[in-house]
Chain A
Amino acid sequence: MNSRYLVDGNLLRQRTYRLVLYFLLFAGCAIMLLPFFWMVTTSFKVESEVLRMPPQWIPKDWQWINYVKAWNVAPFGRYFFNSFFMAITTTVGEVITTILAAYAFAKMRFFGKNVLFAILLGTLMIPGQMLLIPNYVTIVRLGWFNRYEALIIPWLASVFGIFLLRQFFRSIPDELQDAARIDGCSRFRFLWQIVVPLSKAAIMTVALLKFLGSWNAFLWVLIMTNSDKMRTIPVGLTLFSSEVGTAYEQLMAASVLAIIPVLILFFFTQKQFIQGVARTGIK
């Protein structure tokens, strides 16, 4: 009898615990989703519903026309192409250079390695704003202004990515490398056939962070380009705001379009992304 009570008591505690847990998770989820919900529903509202108090959560008449209007404000087709092109090329490029550099810093011995690494890390401490004018001058002098070179080449390497992968590569035992080399495996083969597959989650994290960074890049694109042909989506999104007001419904329609590719990407890669976040300690 007593034991039954005990079992029932445990069950009750477990159920209560789960109920509280799910409630908290649900509440957290709702809080996280609320801005997205507002963005999506606002993209279908008429102007007058956007800031109505109390809020009008669901539009009365769904204004699909907002998407047409937003799309026609600027050459968004071109902006999408540029965003994709920039994000994909910089991601692929950075992953390659980062893997090579991180391997060198993690597994190879060469003169001045630690000093070089410290200098590289030091560059992370310089605020980006400070570098904007020198970078602009460099890009102009190189003849890359308003060209894809300006949008892509400076972003083909990342100190942060090198740091991240270097830490991950260091956790791979040196004995593995020694054994492989004794068996006649070259460094390059060891890197691509052993280190890279073992570090898939970390590499995926670097790639995803890069893709998101490039997809959202605003100031660099704005400063380094002049023509609509070279602009990307984030620059297009600023068109809807001014010092005195914002066309929220159109801005939200354009924003929904802008995040769809990112959502699709996350949908297919969320497992690796979450693994990478968990294993590298990045948030």
Chain B
Amino acid sequence: MRRTLVLSILGLVVFSLFGAIAMAEENVTISFWHAMSSRHQPNLQKLVDDFMAEYPYITVELSYQGGYGDLQQKINAAVVAGNVPTMAQAYENWVTPIVEVLYPIGPHMTGLEKADIIDGLVPSNTYNGVLYTFPFNKSIMVFYYRKDLVPTPPATWEEYLQIAADLTVDKDGDGTIDQFGTGFRPAANPEQFLNFLEEAGGSILNEDWTEVTINNEAGIAAMEYAASLAPYSLITSAYMSDAFQANQVCMFIDTSAGYYYNNKAAETAGFEMGVVRVPMGPVNQKSMIQGTNLAVFDMNQTQAQKDAAVLLARFLLRAENTVFWAEKGGYQPVTKSAYETEEWENWVATHEYQQAMSAQMLDGFSQILHPNYGDMRDIIATAFEEVMLGEATPKEALDSAADEIETLLE
């Protein structure tokens, strides 16, 4: 009798437990908006498939939303309409104005998981002291060069300028330069200047965003350095890989995510490409971290959906997954433990270019979280372009940019 009673109680407990688990694991579908092109989609799909295999009650619907600009427009419209996805890729400055409708993932992560995120990536995902978003497809600006023409890559700004000058030649003597030492895409990639700005100790705004500092002494020094490179630079709006393949440039600063295309260009043109850290500036050797983070929305989502999204976030941050994403897509791992895995160490050992990228990543800086950063970036791009095309002096261009940024602050 007693045995029957114990068995019955045990059965009841087990049944309740299974019931609770079944309740907790009710089927849930989450939507994930992204801007990953066809080259990255199979990798993202693989990660999501692995996640769904581990959590069979969760279905993740990946939804391509065009380029980053298209995605931003759609997120903004969706927030107004209350029709947001469960999670989406987002740049830092997209998040600032909509942080109130986001579900912070930090409070739902363990201390170890949070501490594992690369230090340089924490501030750019933290809003009001809380880790809201998490880093996803991160790349870093590095220095690409032709090994045949640049036997020793430049380590400092001075060396960069000197080698650029030496390599700029009019091969056929027709008065037009056929080969430039370096190249810039000022309109499309103002980050090339922002790197100089950071390395010169400058910034766009002061720390509390109350004052524009881009035209201070450090800012002007950075732009003057860019201007000194202008005579030896191809100024283009096309991808640098196109100019690289056409033998028009010998070295340039570009994102690590462009490695695939830059290396393909080098192979096609028949030379070997090297990758090193950006040349050391007067103050530091930092370079800009690029790429988006992932945000989970709190708006019109059930708790089960938010929980599932947080699970996916934690899954993507696992060392093996951020390593997989990095190896396949040309991005950089976003957690410290990922850099210590055997898989990644082997990868770095067998892929020389990764050594520079990894080292640079651990010494990177992110864009500021100001909601108007996108407009500021456009203003800086214009100033950078004017200087590189010789249409304005560094001081004129930066003073004008500072005035425009000032109006954005107002």
A240–B37 touching, CB < 8 Å: yes
Q: Please report whether the interface of chain A is mostly helix, strand, loop or mixed according to DSSP.
A: helix
**Contacts between the two chains (Cβ within 8 Å), count:** 96
A241–B267 touching, CB < 8 Å: no
Question: Chain B residues with Cβ under 8 A from A145's Cβ?
Answer: 83
Asked if B74 is at the interface (CB within 8 A of a chain A CB), the reply is yes
Question: Chain A residues with Cβ under 8 A from B73's Cβ?
Answer: 132, 219, 223
CA separation between A196 and B85, bound complex, in Å? Answer: 47
B83–A140 touching, CB < 8 Å: yes
Known: A52-B268, A227-B63, A238-B66. Contact between A246 and B239, CB under 8 A? yes
Taken residue by residue from 232 to 247, chain A's Cβ proximity to chain B (1 for < 8 Å, 0 otherwise) reads as: 0001001111111111
A51–B258 touching, CB < 8 Å: no
| Interface residue from B36, B38, B80 paired with A247 (Cβ < 8 Å) | B38
Question: Chain B residues with Cβ under 8 A from A241's Cβ?
Answer: 37, 67
Asked if B70 is at the interface (CB within 8 A of a chain A CB), the reply is yes
Tell me the smallest distance from the CB of B305 to a CB of chain A, in Å. Answer: 15
Chain B: interface residue count, which band? 35 or more
Asked if A226 is at the interface (CB within 8 A of a chain B CB), the reply is yes
A47–B83 touching, CB < 8 Å: no
Chain A: CB-nearest residue to B68:
A243
Known: A47-B264, A52-B245. Contact between A133 and B80, CB under 8 A? yes
B239–A223 touching, CB < 8 Å: no
| Interface residue from A137, A222, A242 paired with B65 (Cβ < 8 Å) | A222
CB neighbors of A among B68-83 (8 A): 68, 70, 73-74, 76-78, 80-83
Known: A53-B245, A240-B37, A240-B38. Contact between A136 and B67, CB under 8 A? no
CB neighbors of B among A73-118 (8 A): 73-74
Question: Chain A residues with Cβ under 8 A from B245's Cβ?
Answer: 51-53
A48–B77 touching, CB < 8 Å: no
B66–A222 touching, CB < 8 Å: yes
Tell me the smallest distance from the CB of B108 to a CB of chain A, in Å. Answer: 26
Question: Chain A residues with Cβ under 8 A from B7's Cβ?
Answer: none
Starting from the known contacts A74-B38, A133-B76, A238-B66, 15 additional A-B residue pairs (CB-CB under 8 Å) come to A51-B246, A132-B77, A133-B80, A136-B74, A136-B77, A141-B81, A223-B70, A223-B77, A226-B85, A240-B37, A240-B38, A241-B67, A242-B36, A243-B68, A243-B255
